[in-house]
Amino acid sequence: MGVRCSKFSFCWHLKPSVLQSSDLENGEKNPLPSFREFKWEELKIATNGFSSDNIVSEHGEKAPNVVYKGLLENEKWIAVKRFNKSAWPDSRQFLDEAKAVGNLRSERLANLVGCCFEGDERLLVAEFMPNNTLAKHLFHWEDQPMKWAMRLRVALYLAQALEYCSNKGRALYHDLNAYRVLFDQDGNPRLSCFGLMKNSRDGKSYSTNLAFTPPEYLRTGRVTSESVIYSFGTMVLDLLSGKHIPPSHALDLIRGKNFMMLMDSCLEGHFSNDDGTELVRLATRCLQYEARERPNAKSLVTSIISLHKETEVPSYVLLGIPQGNAECSQPLQLTPMGEACLRMDLTAIHEILDKAGYKDDEGIANELSFQVWTKQMQESLDSKKHGDAAFRAKDFTTAIDCYTHFVDGGTMVSPTVYARRCLSYLMSDMPNEALGDAMQALVVSPEWPTGFHLQAASLFSLGMENDAQDSLKEATNLEAKRNRN
C-alpha cells in the first residue's frame, strides 16, 4: 500500500501583480493598487517579524538596508526595503520622496506600492519579482547561459525603463547594476524602483565598487542623469561578456579593435558580428569620460530596438524558466514539530512525541475495546508498555526491540508505535528503517500530521531534500486543517 506524498516543494519566490503597458497612463486599466501608507505592524506580520529567512538582499555599511519578501493579508506578495534608522530623520521628506516614486507605474519597473514611517522606522513596499536578478541569470547561471536574444531584451527593457523614468522627472537612479534588474513571473526584466529613492537626505549615498563608478561621481560625490547612462554602459558590458568587467579594462580591449575578447564564449555562433559591434559601440558611447558626450535614454532605446531579436518569443522561454514559475504558496508557518524536523533536532522531536503520548490512537483503541481480549493481546500491550518506558528513558535499542514485538504480534495497530520506533531508528542511524515506519504510520492513519513530519525527518536524513520538503508541507497543511476544524 503506497503512501500519499504530494510532489510540490517549498516556493519562496513571490507572485507580483501584472501590469499591462509600459506606461500605464495609456488608457488601460492599472491593476496595481494606488500608493498607500502601511502600518508597521502590518509589514511586521507580512515578513514574519522581519525574519532572517525572509531576507532577499542586503547591502554593506555604506547603505545598511535590507529587503525582505512578505505576504499581505490579501495574499499580495511584496518586497519590503527597511532602511537603516539613521536614514531619513525627517519623516515628511521621506514620505514626499516615496510618493513621488510611487506615482510611477510601468511594466518596465518593479513598482513601488507604498511606504511606512513610524518612529525611527522607514520602509518601502514594492511589487515582488519572483524570478531572481540579472546577476543570478547572467553571472551565476546553473542550467544554461543567458541567450543572446534575452540579453538584447534586457538591454532594451532597461533602456525603456530609464526613458520612462526620465520622462516622468525621475532621471536619477542610484547604483544601477545587475542586482537592480529583476525578472517577473513571465520572465520579463524589470528595473527595481528602490534605486529611484535616495538612500539618505543628501542623496550622496551611492554604494558601489570604485572600478565601476562614473568618473564625475568620484569628483563631486553626486549622481547625475549622465552618471546613470555610464552605469547603463557598464551593464551592457556585463551582457556582452557574462562577467562584471571594469569599464577601463573593457575600453582598452575595444580600443585595441579586439572586441571579441569581451564576448561571452557561451555566445559563440549565436549572434552576428554586426550586432555585437553595434552593442559594443553603444557601450563605448555610454562610457565616455565626459558626461556631456554620452547619449540620453531615448537615444539608447532607438539604438537597441533595431537589434532586438526573436520579439515573438516569450521571455520565460528565452530565460529558460517554466511558464507560471511564480505561482507560489504562502510561506509555511511551521509548528514546533515542523521546525524540529526541518532542523533535524531529534531530541526536540523525542520530547514532542513523549509529551503527546497516544492521543492520536484513541479511535483505534475504542475499536479494540469491542474485540475479544486474548493472552496474545496482553503480551503485545506489555511489549508496548516496556517499549514506552525505554523510549522515555532514551534507550532506543530496547525501544526498537519492544515495539517490534508489539508490531509483529499482529493483533493491534498503533500509528504512535510506528512513530516512536521511527524516531528510535533515526536515533540509531537507521534512516531507511525509519522511513518505512513513517510510511506505515500513514497507512494506518493517512491524515496524521505526525506521520508526515516523521516521513520528512527520515527523508532529510537520507538526503532526499525535495521529497522531505514535500512531506513537511503536507504535514503543515494538515495541522492547519485540524486547527480550523
Render pLDDT for 368-410 as a digit per residue (tens, 0 to 9). 444 445 566 778 888 889 999 999 999 999 999 999 999 888 7
Give the Cβ contact number of residue 87 at 10 Å: 18
Tell me the three state secondary structure of residue 110. Answer: strand
Query: Which pLDDT does position 88 carry in this prediction?
Result: 84
Helices (H), 242-333: 247-255, 273-286, 297-305, 315-319
pLDDT in tens, 311-347: 889 998 999 888 764 444 445 578 899 888 988 999 9
Instruction: State the DSSP code for 133.
Output: B
Tell me the three state secondary structure of residue 72. Answer: coil
* Distance linking the first and last C-alpha atoms of the chain: 28
Tell me the three state secondary structure of residue 262. Answer: coil
Report yes or no: 316 and 325 within 8 Å, Cβ to Cβ: yes
Report yes or no: 132 and 327 within 8 Å, Cβ to Cβ: no
Query: Which pLDDT does position 4 carry in this prediction?
Result: 40
Handedness of CA 460, 462, 465, 468 (dihedral sign): negative
Cβ contacts of 130 within 8 Å, gap of 6 or more = 13, 14, 15, 16, 77, 183, 184, 185, 325, 326, 328
Report yes or no: 101 and 7 within 8 Å, Cβ to Cβ: no
What is the distance of C-alpha 227 from the center of its chain? 31
Active site residues: 175
Report yes or no: 419 and 454 within 8 Å, Cβ to Cβ: yes
Query: Which pLDDT does position 253 carry in this prediction?
Result: 77
Query: Which pLDDT does position 14 carry in this prediction?
Result: 29
Cell of 8: 510540490
**What's the rounded Cα separation, in Å, for the pair 436 and 442?**
10
**What's the rounded Cα separation, in Å, for the pair 182 and 91?**
28
Q: Please name every residue paired with 74 in a beta bridge, in sequence order, or none if there are none.
A: none
pTM surpassing 0.95?
Answer: no
Report yes or no: 172 and 196 within 8 Å, Cβ to Cβ: yes
Cβ contacts of 217 within 8 Å, gap of 6 or more = 206, 223, 227
Average pLDDT, the chain: 82
Report yes or no: 113 and 102 within 8 Å, Cβ to Cβ: yes
Q: Which of 23, 44, 28, 29 is nearest to 125 (CA)?
A: 44
What domains are there in the chain, each with its CATH number?
36-127 (3.30.200.20), 134-319 (1.10.510.10), 336-484 (1.25.40.10)
Query: Which pLDDT does position 205 carry in this prediction?
Result: 54
Residues in the chain where the model's pLDDT stays below 70: 1-32, 58-64, 199-210, 256-258, 324-332, 362-376, 484-485
Report yes or no: 232 and 258 within 8 Å, Cβ to Cβ: no
Cβ contacts of 427 within 8 Å, gap of 6 or more = 346, 350, 394, 396
Report yes or no: 432 and 462 within 8 Å, Cβ to Cβ: yes
**What's the rounded Cα separation, in Å, for the pair 473 and 87?**
39
Query: Which pLDDT does position 376 carry in this prediction?
Result: 65
**What's the rounded Cα separation, in Å, for the pair 432 and 445?**
20
Q: What is the dihedral of CA 304, 306, 307, 312, to 10 degrees?
A: 110
